[in-house]
Amino acid sequence: MKALHDFVKKFEPDHNNKLAHTTYDAFYTFLFQPPTVTKGGVHIKDGMDLKRLMVHVVLALQLLYVFGTWNIGHQHFVAIGEHTGLLEGFLLKVVYGLIQVLPIFVVTHVVGLGIEFFYAARKGHSVEEGFLVSGALIPLIMPPDIPLVWLAVAIAFAVVLGKEAFGGTGMNIWNVALLARVFIFFAYPTTISGDEVWISGIEKVGTEYFAASYGWAHHAFDWIFSGLGLATFGEGGQAVVDGFTGATPLGIAAKEGWAGVEAVYTEGQIFWGTIPGSIGETSVPLIVIGMIFLMVTRIADYRVIVGGLIGFFVAALMMNAIAPADLGPDTPGVFKFMAIHPLRQLMMGSFLFAITFMATDPVSSADTPTGKWIYGFLIAFIGLIIRVMNPAYPEGWMLSILLMNTFAPLIDHYVYQANAKRRAKRTSAMAKQRDELITRRGDIKVFNGDSDYRPVGNAGTYQ
Amino acid sequence: MRSIKQLTGGLFLLLLANFTLQSQAAASGGNLLFYGLAGLALLIFFFIVVSVADNFMVIESNQSGINGEKANMGLYPRINELFSSKKPGFLDKEHVYTLRKGYDIPLEGAASTNVDTQTKATRFAIMPPDFVGLMPIPKVTVEVGDTVKAGDTVFYDKQLDRIKFAAPVSGEVIEIKRGLKRAIDAIVILADNNQVSRAYTVPAANASRSELVEFLLESGAWPGIRQRPYNVVADPDLVPRDIFVSTFDTAPLAADSALAIAGRKAAFQAGIDVLNRLTDGLVYLGLDGRGDTASPYASIVHAEKRYFRGPHPAGNVGVQIHHIHPAGVGADTVWTLDVNAVLTIGELFLHGRYTTQRVVALAGAELATPRHVATHAGANLGELLKGETLTNVRVLSGDVLTGSAVGTEGFLGFFDRQVTVLAEGDQPELFGWLLPLKARASISPTIPTFSKFAATTNTHGERRAFVVNNDYEQVMPMDIYTQQLMKAIMINDFEAMEGLGIYELVEEDVALAEFVCVSKQPLQTILRDGLTTMMQQG
């Protein structure tokens, strides 16, 4: 290991070449925990650092990547009517998914990390790890056929204006991954609104060039697979003009309620996530596994997640209460949407993904433990209102999280004010008690188990 | 009174349940939700019936003269009965604070409890930088070659010239070390074999406070008293609200404070009696409530005794003050002393002699025989560690969180009670951030620590911007938002600093937060900057 370290150290560029040195430093500290020692202050340090913190979120996302890759292929083949069984043509589906996901992943990291490295060199600090998580999240919230140019523009927007403009990792106000998503959402509304399904390889307005652009890759794999005697893509690798189109569960629910959703999708499909959607946000059980992992390892704060779940159920139950008891054909769609059972609301759409991975971002969420409860609750509460009651947006979490990101400092401000007031009040109560004790000093035995005195204070546990 | 409150509360719940049930029943009949709520309502109904019955029983018991506040006569256990940990018997009648937050870093190399009296240091130093609030160049009143007795004045600050700083031992002044810009770093004394103290005329038992203060200032025992906020040398013109003494140390590998008082209880008691005459308020003793037996300090009288249980930093006097009665500026100024300072004052009044004798822990996994030694303030570390093979290590005066790396040529700090030896962590580790193969401590569940381990000085990561994951709150047993306070300090927001509690903190209180910080920020330095700014603002 010493030899490897020395070998890597040989390539260290000169400090004057800033960009080269920052880039080298980023890769070097990735490969090795550097031999730096503490100087001043504490002499030993906790083993946790920002890299380790961030990489655990990436780990929690891995199952979603695997599932998402397969699901892209699966939805594609189901739409063209081939290999409709879950495990039929498994290899083809995974390869098809990889052909879609890998370019998205690579573009995300090349653009995002490139900008990070550039700014780190310009500002003369080392590359911070924030983009490790953003870069892992962004592909999962994109439609599988997203044109790579759009993606690159969106990421550049999010990283430059959303993060570097504020001073880099740790300083940003809004969640970077969601900024990229919101950019695409508002820049290309006809394609990305989320009321129509996203199935890879089906031509849609605006994406027709990109759906067919991987034909050469499919042909190449066909050549390999036929050589090995395996099933080939054949027609399945081509883009399909006028293929299957349909509405997403939320698109249907907004018009026809749960009855309409049930006519197209089964409850099981929605729960397990074998439905079209963004790459990584469809499968409820896998997201819940990630959620539990993040909460148990305390990487994400449970307060945001639990607060969010509470807010979601409160909002959903309120809507249930408002909705009329009898839903006829003349009932407006919004009432039918409101009447959907909270657990079904929870399964549809991407609430769980958003509250687990987006809302818990430690930089853009509220800082204080109390603030985090409020922040999580309001995200869910407002998000569900946007989802159900606003006809323009089929889904609400992106907007509600960005809205609460904006208000998180305000929430914290009031928590800090309350803390200052509480501590002042506690101190003055203690002062009063102290005066009383001093005047009665000698007559009574103060502060033991028999005396009537209990010390004032809320931080200690008196037992 | 409490029972009536509960009764009204119960009736309110009954009403509430009634309303909820009706409105839901109207909304949507026949679904799972309705049955769920109905079931819940039924449970609440039974709960209320039982509660009302319970309340009548409590009222009955109150009328028959049983004090409901002390003895629980109700059906339900109180929350503290459910969750209280098993406390040892000696705490039954005592006043105990149980702190849940904090962290004991599981380090190897704790000092064994026998006191080594054979190891002797010959060189001792008094170091002006140990005392916060002095000018960098004090007036030195001795020269190299002078002979001094323990307690003889060796320097004083030109602006605080009433406070005299005394030689810790008797002997010959052999060196006056100067640092940057001719600041005085240390005055080194070669100790005599037989220690002699300067002779004192102790003030009478009924002497006035001002006489007492004058005597302490002149005797050289005053600098052991520190003042909060800011942790500076106490201002003799000021009467403190209260005086706080923490009698135990929870820092990693800390010295056993029971050894400090062994055979010197009378001196400690005398010191506490003197402190009582210095304040109109109370003298508080923070006692160790973690063990199975009472601390030897429990038999001290004329002080308010408060027990603290919990992980580090429960033994920090700042944490104890926060829970007992927070410090602040003006009328809330308090004084703090450590055990050794109380003993020095006690010896002065009991026997009329000045001594800085103390028991110091030599600890750390790098040492062959970690143990306690009896020595005096300012002992040379190299001489205390004689016989140990020390290669690529860091020798600290103090603990791993707040100590200073003075090396074997350095001297024990005036307020330090331990010497810690740590291995330097200047080894790269392949994917060390991802696969922590070498043992390291962490409060994160992603790095489990199963046993005690030998820590190194590796930073385990690079410095980053603040990221809020509430790790500070997890190890700070104080109602203070540490991170926001640090940000307020960095932008010089005076109002926020005051409101968020900067006056209650000194470096040692945030040291554990600095240890756990994922962004590896130097919190102690930031805090001291803030304290200096506040001091300059007056």
pLDDT digits (tens, 9 = 90+) for A47-93: 888 888 889 999 999 999 999 999 998 988 888 888 888 888 888 88
- The answer, yes or no, to whether residue B253 has pLDDT greater than 90, is yes
Q: What is the predicted pLDDT for the residue at B330? A: 87
Domain boundary among B338, B358, B378: B358
Is pLDDT at B27 greater than 50 in this prediction? no
Smallest CA–CA distance, residue A85 to chain B, in Å, is 33
B58, B122: one domain: no
- B134 lies in the same domain as B21: no
Predicted local confidence at residue A288, as pLDDT = 95
Contact B462 A325 (CB under 8 A): no
Same domain, B147 and B222: yes
Whether residues B177 and B69 share a domain: the answer is no
End-to-end CA separation in angstroms for chain A: 54
Q: Which domain holds residue B42?
A: 2-84
The ipTM value here is 0.87
Which residue shows structure tokens 């554990």? B512
Distance from CA of A45 to the nearest CA of B (A): 5
Domain ranges of chain A: 2-31, 48-246, 283-463
> Would you say residue B384 lies in a domain?
no
How confident is residue B67, by pLDDT bands cut at 50, 70 and 90?
low
pLDDT at A31 over 60: yes
Chain B residues inside the 8 Å CB shell of A48:
442-444, 446-447, 460-461, 471, 516, 518
From B302, B333, B358, give the residue that closes a domain: B358
CB contact under 8 A, A48 and B516: yes
Task: State the Cα–Cα distance between residues B165 and B82, nearest whole angstrom.
Answer: 53
**pTM exceeds 0.80 for this model:** yes
pLDDT higher for B506 or A194? B506
Is the pLDDT reported for residue B8 higher than 80? no
Write down the pLDDT at residue A461. 40
Least confident range from A112-121, B54-63, B73-82, B104-113: namely: B73-82
Q: Is B65 left (phi over 0), alpha (psi -120 to 50) or beta?
A: left
- Give pLDDT, residue B185: 92
B148 and B237 co-located in one domain: yes
User: Do B238 and B336 lie in a common domain?
Assistant: yes
Mean pLDDT of A1-10: 82
What is the reported pLDDT for A242?
54
Compute CA A38 distance to the chain's CA centroid, rounded to the nearest angstrom.
Answer: 34
CA A251 to chain centre: 22
Contacts of B532 (CB under 8 A, 6+ apart): none
Q: Report, as an integer, the average pLDDT of A252-256.
A: 86
The residues facing B226 across adjacent strands are B233, B336
Of B326, B457, B500, the CB nearest to A420: B500
User: What contacts 24+ positions apart, CB below 8 Å, involve A108-111?
Assistant: A108/A135, A108/A138, A108/A139, A108/A151, A108/A155, A109/A135, A111/A151, A111/A152, A111/A155, A111/A156, A111/A159
Residue A171 binned pLDDT confidence (cut-offs 50, 70, 90): confident
Within 10 angstroms of residue B530's Cβ, the number of other Cβ atoms is 21
Task: Say how many C-beta atoms besides its own lie within 10 A of residue A234's C-beta.
Answer: 13
From A37, A301, A461, residue closest to B424, measured CB to CB: A37
pLDDT of amino acid A146: 85
Secondary structure (3-state) at A350: coil
pLDDT exceeds 90 at position A302 = yes
B309 Cβ contact list (under 8 Å, min separation 6): B87, B96, B97, B98, B99, B289, B290
> Chain A partners of B92 at a C-beta cutoff of 8 Å?
449
Confidence band of A207 (pLDDT split at 50, 70, 90): low
Q: Which residue of B23, B422, B432 is in closest CB contact with A43? A: B422
CB-CB under 8 Å, A168 with B280: no
Question: Of all residues in chain B, what percent carry a pLDDT higher than 90?
Answer: 56
Strands (E), B385-450: 393-397, 404-405, 418-423, 429-430
The better pLDDT of the pair A376, A262 is held by A376
Q: What is the pLDDT of residues A92-104, one digit of tens each?
A: 889 989 988 999 9
- The partner residue sitting opposite A447, judged by closest CB among B105, B242, B304, is B304
B326 touches chain A (CB under 8 A): yes
Reading phi first (left if > 0) and then psi (alpha if -120 to 50, else beta), residue B387 is in left
Tell whether B332 lies on the interface with A, counting CB pairs under 8 A: yes
**pLDDT (tens digit, 9 = 90+) per residue, B119-147?**
889 999 999 999 998 888 899 999 999 99
Does residue A448 register a pLDDT over 60?
no
Q: Which residues of A touch B332 (CB under 8 A)?
A: 427, 431
Q: Closest to B518 (Cβ–Cβ): which among A53, A169, A367? A: A53
Q: Is residue B397 part of a domain?
A: no
Q: Is residue B199 assigned to a domain?
A: yes
Q: In a 3-state reduction of DSSP, which class is residue B428? A: coil
Co-location of B19 and B120 in the same domain: no
Tens of pLDDT, residues A178-206: 999 999 988 887 777 666 777 777 766 55
Q: Are residues B149 and B15 in the same domain?
A: no
- What mean pLDDT is predicted for residues B452-477? 88
Q: How many CB atoms are located within 10 Å of the residue A325 CB?
A: 10
| Residue B131: inside a domain | yes
- Number of CB atoms found within 10 A of residue B207's CB: 14
Asked if residue B218 belongs to a domain, the reply is: yes
Q: Is the pLDDT at A226 greater than 90, yes or no?
A: no
pLDDT at B264: 92
In this structure, of A117-126, B157-166, B327-336, the range with the lowest mean pLDDT score is A117-126
Q: What is the per-residue pLDDT for B165?
A: 94
Last residue of a domain, one of B326, B358, B390: B358
Are B514 and A42 a contacting pair at CB < 8 A? yes
User: Are residues B122 and B75 located together in one domain of the fold?
Assistant: no
Residue B412 falls inside a structural domain? no
- Short-list A380, A256, A253, CA closest to A317: A380
Chain B: residue whose CA lies nearest to A423: B479
Report B:394-423 residues touching A (Cβ under 8 A). 394, 396, 400-403, 405, 420, 422
Residue A152 has pLDDT above 90, yes or no: yes
Residue B453 lies in a domain: no
In this complex, do A317 and B429 lie within 8 Å of one another by their Cβ atoms?
A: no
Compute CA distances B17 → A313, B51, B474, whole Å.
19, 15, 37
Burial of B265 (0-12, 13-18, 19+ CB in 10 A): middle
Question: Is residue B368 scored above 50 in pLDDT?
Answer: yes
The total number of structural domains in chain B stands at: 3
Percent of chain B's residues with pLDDT above 70: 91
Q: How far does the CA of residue B395 sit from the closest CA of chain A (Å)?
A: 10
B500: contact with A, CB 8 A cutoff = yes
Average pLDDT over residues A15-26: 83
Report pLDDT for A329. 81
Residue B98 lies in a domain: no
The answer on pLDDT for B28 being more than 50 is no
Question: Residue A35 pLDDT > 50, yes or no?
Answer: yes
pLDDT confidence band for A462 (50 / 70 / 90): very low
What pLDDT shows up at residue A256?
A: 86
Q: Tell me the per-residue pLDDT of B172-205, one tens digit each, with 9 for 90 and over.
A: 999 999 988 889 999 999 999 898 999 999 888 8
Strands B164-166 and B153-156: antiparallel
Could you tell me which residues come within 8 angstroms of residue B414 by beta carbon, excluding any fewer than 6 positions away?
A: B126, B127, B130, B131, B168, B223, B377, B378
Question: What does the pLDDT read at residue B61?
Answer: 78
Angle, alpha carbons B257-B262-B267 (nearest 5°)? 100
Its sign, for the CA torsion A228, A233, A235, A239, is negative
Instruction: Calculate how close chain A gets to B323, using CA atoms only, in Å.
Output: 6
Q: Residues of B458-487 as b/e, b for ≥16 C-beta within 10 angstroms?
A: bbbbbbbbbbbbbbbbbbbbbbbbbbbbbb
Q: What is the residue-averaged pLDDT of chain B?
A: 87
Res. B299: pLDDT tops 70: yes
CA end-to-end span of chain B? 47
Residue A360's nearest CA partner among A405, A410, A301 is A301
Task: Say if residue A111's pLDDT is above 90.
Answer: yes
Contacts with B436 from chain A: Cβ below 8 Å: 47
Whether the pLDDT of residue A316 is over 60: the answer is yes
- Average pLDDT, integer, range B501-512: 93
Q: Pick A47's closest partner by Cβ from B460, B478, B519.
A: B460
Option in B457, B465, B525 nearest A168 (CB): B465
- Between A450 and A240, residue with greater pLDDT: A240
Residues from chain A contacting residue B326 (CB–CB below 8 Å): 423, 426-427, 430
Q: What is the pLDDT of residue B169?
A: 94
Give the C-alpha separation, B418 to B451, whole Å. 23
Nearest CA in chain B to A296: B445
